[in-house]
Amino acid sequence: MYSAIVFLPLLGFLIAGIFGRVIGVRASQIVTSGLLVVSAVLSIIAFPQVTFGGVTDQIHVMTWIDSGSFEADWRLRIDALTAVMLVVVTSVSALVHIYSIGYMSHDEHQPRFFAYLSLFTFAMLMLVTADNFIQLFFGWEGVGLASYLLIGFWYKKPSANAAAIKAFVVNRVGDFGLILGIATIFLTIGSVEFNTVFEAIPHLETRTFLFLGYEVPLVTTICLLLFMGAMGKSAQFMLHTWLPDAMEGPTPVSALIHAATMVTAGVFLVARCSPIFEFSPTALTVVTFIGATTAIFAATVGLVQNDIKRVIAYSTCSQLGYMFAALGVGAYEAAMFHLFTHAFFKALLFLGSGSVIHAMGGEQDMRKMGGIAKLIPATWVMMLIGTLALTGFPMFAGYFSKDAIIEATFAGHNPMHMYAFTMLVIAAFLTSFYSWRLMFMTFHGAPRADHHTMEHVHESPLVMLIPLVILAVGAVGAGYVFAPYFVGEMHEAFWLDAIFRGANNHVMHDLHNVPSWVVYSPFAMMVFGAGLSWLFYIAWPHIPRELARTQAPLYNFLLNKWYFDELYDFIFVRPAFWIGRILWKQGDGRIIDGLGPDGVSARVLDITRGVVRLQTGYVYHYAFAMLLGVAGLATYFMLGGVH
């Protein structure tokens, strides 16, 4: 069953990718979507067997790498962590496949699109079922490749190509750290198998190595290198710049990348490696700081974005910050719980925004929307449910998972836990504000679109609405149903050995004993943010324009995303181009080519041109040359040239 879950998407990719032109669009849609649905159903069946039944397994697929002391078999690791990710990945991917049948109905390259979706899903499944770091890296790079193909799917658009390249390059920065981390593990322990590595780590807790004259802790170094990879894949602060630009891909791609799969890979990696991170308080402190900083940074930028998909993209970035903050304080279960619930309501918001864009004839600027709630009521209801879940409205999914993270940061013990708590509470206010801003600007108030666009606003077809309804059920009920198992009184029996907790890690117990004001603070921030958003965009809609005018420096700072793109362009891109031009023009062109093949060929040509000039074809020229030769010989003999 587990092999079928993993390899059915690969089969769909091969059929649609190789035979798509032969079997046609409809067959490609049915094959890829059908196989994903089967994979999702099998994942749902396996979920209670693993999490509630305590089933764990390691399924050997084949011998993969066996070179000297280096071994990495292809095995599927089945435990609670895997089971949770299987449900998330296959369920959201299956719904995205079905949704895409309607959303991409007018695209002329649908077989290729559905093939890429299935390839992406297979790579992610390889990642989450990995039993060693090499297999994990295979899936890790696989989702990177597939995301490049999907973001740049409309390759005739220069902006799509640029976004795909940016995502690929920025992720390579993080992946460089991941490669170094895996290499360090192998060179130190002699294995890349999870069980072997996890068993060896406690014996390396105090071990150091010499680097540039400093004694550096080994386990901390491994953790920070692994976390560097997680930062790139999960778009954390400083390696986040690729995520908003990924909106250049089709909307279903945004839902798949930002909701359940690629961006959560970093969270999964840290949770899987909890037996390593638990032995490095320093690394956990860094994770806490980066996560909390990402949460507040992305939330501030989301306040002023006008593209409906970019607002949700920055929301994803912010929510990932929540997850890493939880990981940093040792609340791995709370982080995975939020990953689980977030997948439903964030996919719902992305696909709901796709329904809005579909209704508005491709328009994504919220400033050109408004007044469409009555025209697309089903989409409005779905977006409302997603917004309530994201902002943490009581009894919706986000209320249980996000609040658990905030309480965990307060109950944490590392030096950054109160910084994280403060940033996350403020981010809860900002999240509520920009989420309701999106709802008010998109669906309410006076219509701001032109008359022609408003005449053609229409509800999406059932093939797009049914996935929204299913996701809405998860956005409403996933938190209430699973809270006791993920973070409640039954969490230890639920997770078993899938997540490791150190002897001093009591945060999952302590988060239930925080003061009442901590418990109510995110709810208060949610209400405050929603109320302020209503005042700004419904009651007094002129206020945002006035604030943007009077506070222009701050507004432009946020609108331009803290100028990270401009900063990186100045620090990295321009110098790289400058060095490249020097190496090309001076190094390659003038030195290598000039002294090498181009120089030699040029000298040969110069000589031959001189020789050619002597061949005039006139007899008197040749006679004159002969006379010069005779005169030269005579002179030579007269001066005693021959003895």
pLDDT in tens, 205-228: 888 888 888 888 999 999 999 999
pLDDT of residue 594: 66
Question: pLDDT digits over 325-367, tens only?
Answer: 999 999 999 999 999 999 999 999 999 999 999 888 888 889 9
Taking the C-alpha atoms of residue 477 and residue 397, their distance in angstroms, rounded to an integer, is 6
Nearest to 88 by CA among 121, 115, 116, 58: 121
Classify 617 in phi/psi space as left (phi over 0), alpha (psi -120 to 50) or beta.
left
Q: How far, in Å, CA of 530 to CA of 105, rounded? A: 36
Q: What is the mean pLDDT of residues 35-45?
A: 95
- Alpha carbon separation from 530 to 2, 341, 433, 475 (Å, rounded): 44, 21, 5, 19
Q: Across the strands, what pairs with 193?
A: 132
Integer distance in angstroms from the first to the last C-alpha of the chain?
Answer: 102
Handedness of CA 35, 147, 127, 297 (dihedral sign): negative
Q: What is the mean pLDDT of residues 484-493?
A: 90
E strand or H helix that includes residue 2: helix 2-51
Q: Does 641 have pLDDT greater than 80?
A: no
Q: Is the pLDDT of residue 643 over 60?
A: no
Closest C-alpha to 154, from 111, 103, 109:
109
CB 204 within 8 A of CB 188: yes
- Of 164, 324, 345, whose CA–CA distance to 253 is shortest? 164
pLDDT digits 0-9 by tens, 601-614: 777 777 887 777 77
Q: Which residues of 202-226 are buried (b: 16+ CB within 10 A; e: fewer)?
A: eebeeeeeeeeeeeebbbbbbbbbb
What value does the mean pLDDT of the chain take?
A: 89
Average pLDDT of span 408-426: 94
pLDDT at 32: 94
Average of per-residue pLDDT across 30-38: 94
Q: Give the pTM.
A: 0.89
Per-residue pLDDT band for 402 (boundaries 50, 70, 90) equals very high
